[in-house]
Amino acid sequence: MPHNAAEARALLFNRKLQEKPVEFSIPGLEELDGELSVLELKASELKQCEKLSEGPDGETDNILMMAAVVCKSLVMRATKERLFSDTDMGTINYATGEGSGVAAFGL
């Protein structure tokens, strides 16, 4: 039976955030196969990622944004423990384009 708007709204508000297993091998880190997951982030967490990824001009740096999302969402599948802290995100040297921390991973 189809849901009405109030029922659909209740389902959406009571929805748990998803965990997606990382099902691909990371080159050179095959020993982590089957051990990693990515957690769905809340809007407030994405907003925090955006804030963390502001460049010197006040604009969002896409590389830093991706690094911030990885830092917040990548976890050990068995324990849900985050692999990285927000400070592991790294930086971008705008003169050379080189990154540090997670920003240097080549995402």
pLDDT of residue 98: 75
pLDDT of residue 94: 65
pTM: 0.73
pLDDT of residue 4: 96
CA atoms within 13 A on the CB side of 50: 8
Token duo for residue 62: 């896409």
pLDDT of residue 85: 85
Q: Where are the domains of the chain?
A: 41-102
The sign one gets for the Cα dihedral 72, 73, 77, 79 is positive
What does pLDDT average to in each consecutive run of 10 residues of the chain (107 residues)?
94 91 90 95 92 88 89 94 86 72 71
